[in-house]
Amino acid sequence: MRFHSPQKLKTIADLIGSAFVGPEDFEILGTNEIHMVKPGDIVFVNHPKYYDKALNSAATIILIDKEVECPEGKALLVSDDPFRDFNKINTHFTRIYNFTEELHDVEIGEGTKIHHSAVIGNNVKIGKNTLIFPNVVIGDRTEIGDNVIIQSNTVLGGDAFYYRKLNGNFDRLISVGNVVIENNVEIGNGCTIDRGVTDSTIIGEGSVLDNQIQIGHDTVIGKKCLIASQVGIAGCCIIGDEVTLWGQVGIASGNKIEAGSVLLGKTGVNRDLEKGTYIGMFAEDFKTYLKKEVKLRNLK
């Protein structure tokens, strides 16, 4: 999430009531999660296991639960609860409406047709010659390109599935990102595409999605991908251009699939994959799988 204008370290520290390490006027440009951070961003960390990763990331401001040695050129915000204060910062700069108010600051391009039963949030942009079917829900800040088709009962921009356990209950990390649907994308019936926590969930130009597909927060789908029914992609995944995912493929959080890959039906992914064709619960190379099957069948 980018702030509307740069903020100062002391301003953010005062907002959340935290101590800080660094010059009072140290510039802050926004917030982001660890896998997406850029210089000027705040990233939060609340476990010693991940201190080094956060401190050595591209982020230049680390919201942390213990004062540690601050890397040169960076700053710290020292909080007793970074998760809580990350939410506080994000919701201070991005208001959450969740369809409770209909401000409808919506831009709609020429030739676009939207069924009257569709529900559209605030600060939404829709391009030209796009077709939106009945009962589609489009959340706040969603951006949809030209020549897009979104079929019935699809939801764009729902909350990210991102929680921590706190006092025996689940505590949500509030989503202030958005969904971006690029030009010439087709999305089938009953799909759910969650908005980013602090960045964008992106469906690349020319990609086609079948029915009943779930795409998690901050995932990026490349251009001209083909995704069949009942595929589930967790958050923070990167799917390269022209990847094909057949029915019921499941991809765990934070994995990358190289461009041009094909994942056959019910393939499970728990690691990054180079370009290839894969099958099976743990994404086995298809040719290797076939050779193994031949050997097994020839056993006597």
27: nearest Cα among 47, 5, 54, 55: 5
CA dihedral 35, 36, 39, 45 (to 10 degrees): -50
- Residue entry with tokens 């649907």: 181
pLDDT above 90: residue 294: no
Spatial CA neighbour of 147 closest among 167, 126, 117? 126
Is 217 noted as a catalytic residue in this protein?
yes
> Of 4, 47, 92, 217, which residue is the catalytic one?
217
What's the start-to-end Cα distance of the chain, in Å? 61
Residue 258 has pLDDT above 90, yes or no: yes
Q: What is the pLDDT of residues 55-91, one digit of tens each?
A: 999 999 999 999 999 999 999 999 999 999 999 999 9
Percent of the chain, pLDDT > 70? 100
Query: Given this model, what pLDDT does residue 293 score?
Result: 83
Instruction: Please tell me the predicted confidence (pLDDT) of residue 300.
Output: 61
Structural domains of the chain, ranges and CATH numbers in brackets: 2-94 (3.40.1390.10), 107-278 (2.160.10.10)
pLDDT value of position 291: 87
Residue 21 pLDDT > 90, yes or no?
yes
**Model confidence band, residue 23 (pLDDT cutoffs 50, 70, 90):** very high
Owner of token pair 């994995």: 255
